[in-house]
Amino acid sequence: MSYYREISQFLSYLKHEKNASPHTITSYKRDLTQLDEYLEEKKVKLRDIDNIVLRAFLATLYEKKDKKSTIARKLAAIRSFFQFCMRKGWLEDNPAKVVATPRLESHVPSFLSEKEMARFLDLPKSDKPLDLRNKAMLELLYATGIRVSELVGINIEDVNFAELLIRVKGKGKKERLTPFGRKAQESLRSYLQARPLIHKSHIEEKVLFLNCRGKRISPRSVERMVDKYIRSSALRRKISPHSLRHSFASHLLSRGADLRVIQELLGHESLATTQKYTHLDLRRLMEVYRKSHPRS
């Protein structure tokens, strides 16, 4: 009664056709395995799965005190899996499409103020090759708003110093060009001069950001690097590499950038995803209002 074969095919599809990240694949595998165990226990065949069965499964998650965000993620994985089953002809309809997603509390993404960001980017100070690399990675994350997964995937040939543009490979293998500024350019040039010294015997020639073994750096290593500098700073709140992306969008927006331009720079498919950055403080809102409204 287990759907191990179907789930394995779905995960393979995510990896090879959708170019999903290893983190996404691991999460989906865990979520679908949990559903599979439930269906096997209830002896429910694939074609007999309906919204009532799925609601009963979600009820077990509520009983286990799972967070609403966790349940929403699992439901998203289930929806995607059943959509795949429809494409394969195993199901005629997606039983998860009528199951309501738990209402989540909206939250403002964590971000740094412009002054905090300036101090944070100034933390890597030495001329050691790895510190120059760290400085370049931090500057580039903030200058472009790219994801960590996109940062580590950059090759040297993707960087156009003449035009100050970087070719980025985003989700679903979609490519986009994103600009970067003079500060990031300076940091990148300093790092590239020191890059051959990172490893004495061998380095991956095409890769931009290397680890201490001369190979492509991993997203996890970037997260640890950012965490190291957060601990050495005066910041006393949870900040992640993604916070630099949030800060990039927030600072552009507060300085008057169009939301659709920010959407393109971030690589968001939907404008609704970008709108979470519209959390300008009241002082800024009042300032813009008083300058712009004819009867203010």
The number of domains in the chain is 2
The closest of 115, 153, 119 to 137, measured between CA atoms, is 153
Same domain, 153 and 281: yes
The Cα-based distances of 273 to 57, 93, 261, 276, 279 in angstroms read: 29, 28, 13, 6, 13
Instruction: Given the residues 268, 279, 284, 291, select the one marked as catalytic.
Output: 268
Would you call 147 a catalytic residue per the annotation?
Answer: yes
- Selecting among 15, 18, 199, 242, the annotated active-site residue is 242
Give the residue numbers spanning the domain of 154.
114-287
Find the catalytic residue in 135, 169, 245, 251: 245
One-letter amino acid for residue 42 of the chain: K
Active-site residue identified among 133, 135, 147, 251:
147
Catalytic residue among 171, 176, 199, 276: 171
Determine the 3-state secondary structure of 8 from DSSP. Answer: helix
Q: What is the CATH number of the domain that holds 38?
A: 1.10.150.130
Residue 151 forms part of a structural domain:
yes
Among residues 17, 101, 9, the alpha carbon closest in space to that of 46 is found at 9
| 289 has catalytic annotation | no
CATH number of residue 172's parent domain = 1.10.443.10
Question: Which one of the listed residues 3, 28, 142, 277 is annotated catalytic?
Answer: 277
76 and 134: one domain?
no
Q: Give kind and range of the element (H or E) at residue 158.
A: none
Kind plus residue range of the DSSP H or E element containing 138: helix 129-144
- Whether residue 242 lies in the annotated active site: yes
Active site includes 202? Answer: no
* pLDDT of the chain, 296 residues: tens digit per residue: 577 889 999 999 998 888 888 888 999 999 999 999 998 888 888 888 988 999 999 899 888 888 888 888 889 999 999 999 999 999 989 998 888 887 765 555 578 888 888 888 988 889 999 999 999 999 999 999 999 999 999 999 999 999 999 999 887 778 889 999 999 999 999 999 999 999 888 888 899 999 999 999 999 999 999 888 888 877 766 777 888 888 888 888 878 787 788 888 888 777 766 666 665 444 555 665 676 656 64
Q: 108 lies in a domain? A: no
Q: Is 293 a catalytic residue?
A: no
Cα–Cα dist 39/54, whole Å:
9
Q: Is 255 a catalytic residue?
A: no
